[in-house]
């Protein structure tokens, strides 16, 4: 409650209602924390609960991670384990540096505990991220890197664009998240179509084999949209299984606007993807669908609307092997990370149970 009652109001007030400014202020503080190695290490010992789990061949200190979008440029990678996270996913990064969409492009809905954004993959580019990670101290948790398509690159050049990012970043990733589901890059979601996705994943597999040079390849996961029909999602999952991907991330932000408090309809009307509490039930049902449709063969990172430890536990019960947090961190602070890990460790504390899986 300390975060909700003290830290969050101060941060929001300093930012004067500008959600992106609040985000940047938080990152600046975390960059300073990331640079203080002794302080950071002490906080990891105190704040990071241990619940070791190995998923798609990667050992995680605990199953609760930071979702992509919070630290697009990897400037605070050292801070995330100090806040309790068992892994962090940075990006989404693109092969070409790009400023993203015009501001304002991020909007809070406090009553709904939601966020609307149309950031547009604003980032410094894959080469700059690689240089930053090369110069940074070792990260104290697994690092996922989310890669997407540069806006200036047409769809028929998307494969080479993704491959270029993978080449720059391969030495630094514990896994790659292939973002083909953001609603904020025109045409990007077309890459979820079966034929386009099959070609992309095939090229990434071949390039991964080359870059691994006889060693184990970096796992590749596909991040999916919550707005697909069940038929389209089934086709996508079939392609993922055929391509041998390591898992899926369910889900990205949604274009839907269900679950918004009526007083915040004007904010919800802003174009962009919505995250947070309005996405909770949708993402959880998609996790359950993916688990059932694939017979548990594809590990799932549950992402979207994890706002409380109950939400995290419901994701695990639905079939997720790991969960990710973003909006929940904004609204409820780092205590959410520790509480979510404790639910994973202590099944007796579960309040939500999924129906028996078939």
pLDDT tens-place string over residues 62-77: 999 999 999 999 999 9
Q: Is the CB of residue 284 less than 8 Å from the CB of residue 250?
A: no
pLDDT at 16: 61
- The domain at 2-349 falls in which architecture? Alpha-Beta Barrel (3.20)
pLDDT at 358: 31
For residue 287, what are its two tokens? Answer: 């996790």
**What gap in Å lies between CA 176 and CA 146, rounded to an integer?**
6
Burial 42-81 (b: 16+ CB within 10 A, else e): ebbeebbbebeeebbebebbbbbbbbbbbbbbbbbbbbbb
pLDDT at 137: 87
**What gap in Å lies between CA 83 and CA 341, rounded to an integer?**
12
pLDDT at 343: 86
Would you tell me how many other CB atoms lie within 10 Å of the CB of residue 292? 13
CA of 65: how far to CAs of 60, 151, 152, 296, in Å?
Answer: 9, 27, 31, 21
- Among 255, 266, 188, residue whose Cα is nearest residue 222: 188
For residue 261, what are its two tokens? Answer: 């408090």
Which residue, chain included where needed, has tokens 């929001």?
A: 12
Question: Is 182 annotated as catalytic?
Answer: yes
Angle between helical axes of 19-35 and 37-47 (0-180°, round to 10): 100
Determine if residue 319 is left, alpha or beta; phi over 0 gives left, psi from -120 to 50 gives alpha, anything else beta: left
The burial of 323, by beta-carbon neighbours within 10 Å (0-12 exposed, 13-18 middle, 19 or more buried), is given as buried
Indicate the annotated binding residues.
Answer: 68-72, 92, 117-121, 146, 179, 184, 223, 251-253, 276, 305, 326-327
Which residue, chain included where needed, has tokens 């006889």?
A: 214
**What gap in Å lies between CA 222 and CA 265, rounded to an integer?**
31
Determine if residue 333 is left, alpha or beta; phi over 0 gives left, psi from -120 to 50 gives alpha, anything else beta: left
CA of 294: how far to CAs of 2, 230, 289, in Å?
Answer: 41, 13, 8
Cα 340 → chain centroid = 16
Tens-of-pLDDT digits for all 358 residues of the chain? 544 544 555 555 655 668 999 899 899 999 999 999 899 999 999 999 999 999 999 999 999 999 999 999 999 999 999 999 999 999 999 999 999 999 999 999 999 999 999 999 999 999 999 999 999 988 999 999 999 999 999 999 999 999 999 999 999 999 999 999 999 999 999 999 999 999 999 999 999 999 999 899 999 999 999 999 999 999 999 999 999 999 999 999 999 999 999 999 999 999 999 999 999 999 999 999 999 999 999 999 999 999 999 999 999 999 999 999 999 999 999 999 999 999 886 554 434 333 333 3
- Read off the pLDDT of residues 17-54 as tens digits, 9 standing for 90 and up: 689 998 998 999 999 999 998 999 999 999 999 999 99
Which residue, chain included where needed, has tokens 């409380």?
A: 308
**What gap in Å lies between CA 121 and CA 95, rounded to an integer?**
11
**What gap in Å lies between CA 249 and CA 89, rounded to an integer?**
11
Structural domain spans, the chain: 2-349
**What gap in Å lies between CA 181 and CA 202, rounded to an integer?**
18
Candidates 150, 182, 275, 340; catalytic one = 182
Which residue, chain included where needed, has tokens 């992509």?
A: 68
Which residue, chain included where needed, has tokens 């990064």?
A: 93
Indicate the annotated binding residues for FMN.
Answer: 68-72, 92, 146, 179, 223, 251, 276, 305, 326-327
């Amino acid at each position: 409650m300390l975060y909700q009652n003290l830290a969050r109001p101060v941060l929001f007030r300093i930012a004067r209602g500008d959600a992106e400014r609040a985000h940047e202020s938080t990152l600046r503080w975390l960059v300073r924390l990331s640079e203080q190695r002794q302080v950071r290490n002490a906080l990891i010992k105190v704040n990071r609960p241990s619940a070791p789990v190995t998923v798609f061949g990667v050992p995680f200190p605990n199953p609760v991670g930071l979702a992509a979008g919070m630290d697009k440029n990897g400037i605070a990678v050292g801070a995330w384990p100090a806040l309790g996270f068992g892994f962090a996913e940075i990006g989404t990064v693109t092969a070409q540096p790009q400023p993203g969409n015009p501001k304002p492009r991020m909007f809070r809905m406090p009553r709904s505990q939601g966020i609307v954004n149309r950031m547009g993959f604003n980032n410094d580019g894959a080469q700059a991220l690689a240089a930053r990670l090369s110069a940074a101290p070792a990260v104290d948790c697994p690092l996922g890197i989310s890669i997407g398509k540069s806006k200036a690159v047409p769809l028929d050049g998307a494969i080479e664009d993704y491959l270029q990012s993978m080449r720059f970043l391969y030495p630094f990733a514990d896994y790659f998240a292939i973002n083909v589901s953001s609603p904020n890059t025109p045409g990007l979601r077309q890459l979820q179509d079966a034929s386009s996705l099959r070609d992309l994943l095939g090229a990434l597999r071949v390039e991964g084999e080359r870059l691994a040079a006889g060693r184990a390849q970096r796992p590749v996961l596909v991040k999916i949209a919550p707005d697909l029909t069940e038929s389209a999602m089934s086709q996508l999952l079939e392609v993922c299984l055929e391509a041998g991907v390591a898992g899926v991330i369910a889900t990205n932000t949604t274009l839907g606007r269900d679950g918004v408090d009526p007083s915040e309809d004007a904010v919800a009307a802003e174009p962009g993807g919505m995250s947070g509490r309005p996405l909770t039930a949708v993402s959880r049902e998609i996790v359950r669908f993916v688990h059932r449709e694939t017979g548990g063969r594809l590990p799932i990172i549950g992402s979207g609307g994890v706002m409380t430890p109950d939400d995290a536990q419901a994701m695990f019960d639905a079939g997720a092997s790991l969960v990710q947090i973003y909006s929940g961190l904004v609204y409820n602070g780092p205590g959410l990370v520790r509480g979510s890990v404790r639910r994973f460790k202590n099944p007796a504390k579960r309040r939500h149970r999924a129906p028996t899986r078939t």
